[in-house]
Structure 1
Amino acid sequence: MCQAGAKRKLQLSELEELRNDAYESIRIDKARTKAFHDKHIVIKYFEPGNKVWLFNSKLKLFPGKLRSRWDSPYQVQTVTPHGAITIFDPKKGKTLQVNGQRLKLYIEDSMPTEGVESVTLTDLIYNT
């Protein structure tokens, strides 16, 4: 009877040791995952009045393969210190609050239009 009790105590201590090893392994894995995640976060700075694109993450049934996932330009209204940004949609007149990681700056088209010739594909003439 005494040997069975001692053996059972040894098994319980081994089980506790395995459990502690599992907890330590999980803690190390979580730290490694957090470091990987934090390394890939890009810090973006926005100011009120900036124009931005909003990433549309909604899953559509048949999205176009080459269709852009960025929605039309919005205007930044307020920026909080923790990354939440309030944007205004001038087309719909709606205000949204989104995570700053879903936004990227909208750059105005600054290409000169003077002296630029455009040719459509139907106007091309091939010499044979």
Structure 2
Amino acid sequence: MDLQKSGQNRLGQLTELEELRAYANSSICKDRTKKYHDSRLKKLRKIQERDKVLLYNSHLRLFPGKLKSRWTGPYQVVRVYPYGAVDIIDKDGSEFKVNSHSLKLYEGIFDHDEETLPLESDAHSVSSGSA
């Protein structure tokens, strides 16, 4: 009788050991996954007052245009609130509040107010289609 109790006790200990190993392995796997995920995140620069930003236009999801940009702007940041709220102002002077997750910093590469010149079509460069 004593052997049966000790056998059951040993079986219980082995089961407990397997559960601890499974928990440790899942915890190691979760830690690795979190470390990989965190390493892939972009380093976000905090938006500050007087920064120029672009606003994500979510309405383009309904009517997608292949070559249409989903970002509008540039806007200027007037005030930054805690927890991600930002007041921005456009060139017309209208001010409104948006979530900072829908903003990205404007680098000033292309300005929509710049003058554009039409392309001239050169009749000599167009081939007549003979092959």
TM-score, scaled to structure 1? 0.62
Report the Cα distance in structure 2 between the residues aligned to 1:58 and 1:28, rounded to whole angstroms: 42
CA positional deviation for 1:8 = 2.3
CA positional deviation for 1:14 = 1.5
Which segments of 5 or more consecutive residues in structure 1 lack a partner in the other structure? none
CA positional deviation for 1:58 = 8.3
Q: 1:25 to 1:54 in 2, by over 3 A?
A: farther
Once the two structures are superposed, the pairs formed by residues 9-20 of structure 1 within 5 Å of their partners are 9-20=9-20
Counterpart of 2:71 in structure 1 is 70
Quote the sequence identity (%). Answer: 29
Report the Cα distance in structure 2 between the residues aligned to 1:66 and 1:10, rounded to whole angstroms: 69
Counterpart of 2:23 in structure 1 is 23
Counterpart of 2:97 in structure 1 is 95
The answer to whether 1:35 aligns with 2:32 is no
Name the SS of the counterpart of 1:96 in structure 2.
Answer: strand
Name the SS of the counterpart of 1:10 in structure 2.
Answer: helix
Q: Determine which structure has more spread, i.e. the larger CA radius of gyration.
A: 2
Report the Cα distance in structure 2 between the residues aligned to 1:55 and 1:12, rounded to whole angstroms: 58
Q: 1:27 to 1:74 in 2, by over 3 A?
A: farther
Report the Cα distance in structure 2 between the residues aligned to 1:28 and 1:53, rounded to whole angstroms: 40
Name the SS of the counterpart of 1:24 in structure 2.
Answer: helix
